[in-house]
């Protein structure tokens, strides 16, 4: 495909339309739904990062909750110990740096393994972080977590502003800009030579090594990039939620990350975004109608895996290509 | 000096039920190639069944009743395991890893809430056997006989499993499957039934482990999460599908935990990982892995 024509492709216009629509959402949606949508968007940033690992590198991490928590806690702890730095333009780089360090350590250990063992190791490492967050309560606030105050934004203070006003105002626009940037960067990454090399490793590790790709190192790069997106998602989420607790580092949340990615369909680039937003609503709905919401989530998960393994976007793509192929009677199927 | 004996024994006690849990996990992973995330929930089922049976007779229930509890836990967890395999896991063998993991994750969510539906959110206490068995004097300290009893059960189960795996026809077939699935199939081994059996066996072991823990810890919701994570470490440490690996791995984890809780309680789990990481850097397939 010719990159110069990328701007003329229909997907570009769909992206643009979505972005413009999102700019006007605060006028359309009631505040409650807007905040829910924002929390879905932060999950989407994370799911994009998660999918770089799953779809494009072929590694299923069951410990991404920990990396999400790193971003969120980086914000919380900066606010706790260095209130001077509590400005969003400084907080986001700090969160990125923290998730870089942690994902480097995690990745260094995990990429020695593939398949199930990779998943187990990622899961186990995330539980270490969880245990640290709970047990070092004098530093991290233990299971009570840390309250997230409203940050300064580009020199503007939000003292006395209600959280929902902050969230439906300036912060919303920042969030969708970050989200749009994350989507564009991720799509550039997966279409770059680096992204192609990752997919090559996924498809055939031995062959990739033979043509001179340093398999383990590329996997590490992929893990770190994925961790950066996840940490960014966590940092953005912390403001929306207003409170961070160790539960986001627990592996059940990591499982939910896998779930939302597969719900949207991990074989399509945009799938995780759809899945993350949908999952936010699904989960809230389940929690509001029954105390046995885990049962409901588990049941839908099982149905999804059994009946719609390509996820929602994958299902659409399949339907679409089927409809296209139909009007050619007598064509030889191959 | 005596303290050290007690710390060591405590480590052995940790190791004993960890051994049972990770053995089940390891069998399932080795034979079927599926990482069972719902293993902790099977552990929890065992714990609740045993605590429910023992606890229903009050605090001074006869010790014999605990044996009933153990067997019931073993049986119920085994049956749940069989049902799980037949309904959910069976369509998953040919599917990608993501789906296999997700379906067991779904099963975990289901079972956790089923436990909540059946037994409610309250804790079940079954400390009867613990107090009834009394304690052994080690120097000036008392060491409960129950801990020794738990080790005994665990050793017996391990030996029994070892006999099955090395001596019986079924065991040999199971080992053949875990070594080379396609070759075993080509030799005419009925993989389907043996998969079900292996899953049931693994689940029963988890249930037994869960039942063994309730005299010292009340059965609570989410009781299976910690053992599950520790069992993962054991399996990664010891190497896949080997009984020896599960044994040595759980001894390492058990002793580290016991010492860690005494000397540096805050970083006991990270320390465990530090050891695991060092071993994995030098021996990525685990201590006894193939």
Q: For A127-164, what is each residue's pLDDT tens digit?
A: 888 888 888 877 887 778 888 878 877 777 777 777 77
Q: What is the arithmetic mean of pLDDT over A65-81?
A: 90
Q: What is the arithmetic mean of pLDDT over A35-46?
A: 90
Q: Is residue B252 part of a domain?
A: no
Q: Which one of A97-101, A117-121, A294-298, A322-326 scores highest in mean pLDDT?
A: A97-101
- Residue among B88, B277, B280 whose CB faces A302 most closely: B88
The DSSP bridge partners found for residue B142 are B137
Whether the predicted pLDDT of B43 surpasses 90: yes
**Which residues from A are below 8 Å from B18, CB to CB?**
none
Predicted local confidence at residue B221, as pLDDT: 83
Predicted local confidence at residue A68, as pLDDT: 93
Q: Is residue B195 part of a domain?
A: yes
Whole-complex ipTM: 0.80
Whether the predicted pLDDT of B212 surpasses 50: yes
- B106/A258 touch (CB, cutoff 8 Å), yes or no: no
Q: Which one of A47-56, A300-309, B280-289 scores highest in mean pLDDT?
A: A47-56
**Which residues from B are below 8 Å from A309, CB to CB?**
95, 99
Distance CA B20, CA B230 (A): 12
pLDDT band at A223 (very low <50, low <70, confident <90, very high): very high
| Domain spans in chain A, listed from the N-terminal domain onward | 13-253
Predicted local confidence at residue A332, as pLDDT: 43
pLDDT tens sequence across B52-98: 888 777 666 677 788 888 888 899 999 999 999 888 888 888 887 77
3-state SS, residue B138: strand
The pTM assigned to this predicted structure is: 0.83
Whether the predicted pLDDT of A2 surpasses 50: no
Q: Is residue B175 part of a domain?
A: yes
Predicted local confidence at residue A103, as pLDDT: 93
Q: Are A60 and A119 in contact (CB under 8 A)?
A: yes
Distance CA B21, CA B67 (A): 19
Predicted local confidence at residue A46, as pLDDT: 92
Predicted local confidence at residue A131, as pLDDT: 82
pLDDT tens sequence across A317-326: 888 888 776 6
Q: How far is B132 from chain A (nearest CA, A)?
A: 34
Q: How far is B18 from chain A (nearest CA, A)?
A: 15
Q: Is residue B240 part of a domain?
A: no
In this predicted model, which residue has the larger pLDDT, A165 or A228? Answer: A228
**In the 3-class helix/strand/coil scheme, how is chain A assigned residue by residue?**
CCHHHHHHCHHHHHHHHHHHHHHHHHHHCCHHHHHHHHHHHHHHHHHHHHHHHHHHHCCCCCCHHHHHHHHHHHHHHHHHHCHHHCEHHHHHHHHHHHHHHHHHHHHHHHCCCCHHHHHHHHHHHHHHHHHHHHHCHHHHCHHHCEECCCCEECCECCCCCCHHHHHHCHHHHHHHHHHHHHHHHHHHHHHCHHHHHHHHHHHCHHHHHHCCCCHHHHHHHHHHHHHHHHHHHHHHHHHHHCEECHHHHCHHHHHHHHHHHHHHCCCCCCHHHHHHHHHHHHHHHHHHHCCCHHHHHHHHHHHHHHHCCCHHHHHHHHHHHHHHHCCCCCCCCC
Q: Which residue has the tokens 């045993």?
A: B50
- B109/A301 touch (CB, cutoff 8 Å), yes or no: yes
Percentage of chain B beyond pLDDT 70 is: 98
Distance CA B227, CA B219 (A): 13
Of the listed ranges A37-41, A322-326, B28-32, the one predicted with least confidence: A322-326
Beta-carbon count within 10 A of A312 CB: 18
Intra-chain end-to-end CA distance of chain A, in Å: 25
**Which residues from A are below 8 Å from B32, CB to CB?**
none
pLDDT tens sequence across A165-202: 777 778 888 898 899 999 989 988 988 888 888 888 88
State which residues form the domain around B176: 17-223
- B229/A124 touch (CB, cutoff 8 Å), yes or no: yes
Q: Which one of B113-122, B198-207, B208-217 scores highest in mean pLDDT?
A: B198-207
A254 Cβ under 8 Å from any chain B Cβ: no
| Ramachandran angles phi, psi of A265, nearest 5° | 105, 105
Predicted local confidence at residue A3, as pLDDT: 52
Predicted local confidence at residue B278, as pLDDT: 79
Q: Are A53 and A257 in contact (CB under 8 A)?
A: no
Nearest CA in chain A to B230: A124
Q: What is the arithmetic mean of pLDDT over B10-23?
A: 88
Predicted local confidence at residue B222, as pLDDT: 81
Q: What is the arithmetic mean of pLDDT over B99-109?
A: 88
Predicted local confidence at residue B76, as pLDDT: 92
Mean pLDDT of chain B: 84
Distance CA A12, CA B168 (A): 64
Percentage of chain A beyond pLDDT 90 is: 18
Predicted local confidence at residue A220, as pLDDT: 92
Please tell me the total count of domains within chain B: 1
Predicted local confidence at residue A1, as pLDDT: 45
Pairing relation of β-strands B141-144 and A243-244? unpaired
Predicted local confidence at residue B101, as pLDDT: 84
Q: How far is A235 from chain B (nearest CA, A)?
A: 24
pLDDT tens sequence across B233-289: 888 888 776 788 888 888 988 888 888 888 877 777 778 877 877 787 777 777 777
pLDDT tens sequence across B157-189: 889 988 888 889 888 888 888 888 888 888 888
In this predicted model, which residue has the larger pLDDT, A6 or A224? Answer: A224
Predicted local confidence at residue A334, as pLDDT: 39
Mean pLDDT of chain A: 84
Q: Which residue has the tokens 């465990």?
A: B272
- Residue among B101, B107, B281 whose CB faces A62 most closely: B101
- B113/A298 touch (CB, cutoff 8 Å), yes or no: yes
Of the listed ranges A146-155, A299-308, B26-35, the one predicted with least confidence: A146-155
Q: Is residue B188 part of a domain?
A: yes
pLDDT band at A69 (very low <50, low <70, confident <90, very high): very high
């Amino acid at each position: 495909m010719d990159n110069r024509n990328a701007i003329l492709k229909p997907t570009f216009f769909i992206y643009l339309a979505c972005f413009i629509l999102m700019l006007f959402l605060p006028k359309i949606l009631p505040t409650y739904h807007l905040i829910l949508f924002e929390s879905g968007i932060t999950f989407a940033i994370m799911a994009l990062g998660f999918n770089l690992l799953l779809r494009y590198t072929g590694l299923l991490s069951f410990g991404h909750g920990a990396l999400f928590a790193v971003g969120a806690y980086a914000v919380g702890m900066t606010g706790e110990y260095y209130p001077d730095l509590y400005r969003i333009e400084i907080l986001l780089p700090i969160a990125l740096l923290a998730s870089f360090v942690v994902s480097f350590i995690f990745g260094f250990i995990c990429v020695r393994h593939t398949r199930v063992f990779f998943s187990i190791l990622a899961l186990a490492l995330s539980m270490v972080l969880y245990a640290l967050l709970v047990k070092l309560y004098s530093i991290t606030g233990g299971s009570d977590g840390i309250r997230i105050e409203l940050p300064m934004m580009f020199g503007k203070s939000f003292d006395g502003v209600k959280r929902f006003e902050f969230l439906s105002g300036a912060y919303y626009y920042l969030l969708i800009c970050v989200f749009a940037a994350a989507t564009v960067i991720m799509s550039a990454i997966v279409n770059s030579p680096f992204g192609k090399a990752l997919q090559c490793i996924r498809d055939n590790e031995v062959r990739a090594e033979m043509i001179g790709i340093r398999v383990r190192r590329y996997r590490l790069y992929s893990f770190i990039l994925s961790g950066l997106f996840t940490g960014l998602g966590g940092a953005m989420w912390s403001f929306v939620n207003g409170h961070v607790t160790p539960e986001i580092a627990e592996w059940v949340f990591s499982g939910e990350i896998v779930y939302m990615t597969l719900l949207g369909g991990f074989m399509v680039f945009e799938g995780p975004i759809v899945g993350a937003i949908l999952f936010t609503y699904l989960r809230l709905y389940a929690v509001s109608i029954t105390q046995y919401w885990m049962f409901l989530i588990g049941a839908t998960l099982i149905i999804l895996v059994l009946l719609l393994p390509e996820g929602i976007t994958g299902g659409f793509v399949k339907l679409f290509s089927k409809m296209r192929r139909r009007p050619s009677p007598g064509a030889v199927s191959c | 000096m005596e303290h050290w004996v007690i710390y060591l024994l405590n480590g052995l006690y940790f190791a004993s039920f960890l051994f049972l849990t990770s053995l089940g996990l390891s069998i399932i992973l080795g034979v079927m190639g599926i990482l069972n995330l719902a293993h902790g929930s099977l552990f929890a089922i065992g714990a609740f069944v045993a605590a429910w049976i023992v606890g229903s007779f009050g605090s001074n229930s006869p010790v014999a009743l605990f044996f009933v509890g153990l067997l019931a836990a073993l049986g119920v967890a085994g049956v749940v395991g069989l049902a799980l395999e037949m309904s959910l896991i069976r369509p998953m063998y040919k599917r990608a890893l993501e789906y296999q993991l997700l379906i067991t994750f779904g099963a975990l969510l289901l079972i956790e809430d089923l436990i909540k539906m059946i037994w409610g959110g309250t804790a079940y206490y079954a400390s009867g056997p613990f107090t009834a068995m009394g304690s052994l004097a080690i120097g000036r300290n008392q060491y409960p006989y129950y801990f020794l009893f738990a080790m005994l059960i665990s050793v017996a189960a391990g030996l029994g499993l070892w006999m099955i795996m090395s001596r019986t026809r079924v065991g040999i077939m199971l080992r053949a499957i875990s070594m080379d699935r396609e070759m075993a199939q080509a030799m005419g081994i009925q993989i389907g039934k043996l998969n079900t059996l292996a899953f049931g066996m693994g689940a029963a072991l988890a249930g037994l482990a869960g039942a063994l823990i309730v005299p010292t810890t009340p059965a609570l919701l989410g009781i299976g999460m910690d053992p599950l994570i520790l069992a993962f470490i054991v399996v990664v440490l010891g190497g896949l599908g080997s009984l020896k690996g599960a044994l040595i791995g759980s001894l390492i984890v058990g002793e580290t935990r016991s010492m860690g809780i005494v000397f540096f309680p805050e970083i006991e789990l990270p320390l465990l990982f530090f050891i695991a990481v060092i071993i994995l850097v030098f021996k990525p397939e685990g201590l006894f892995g193939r």
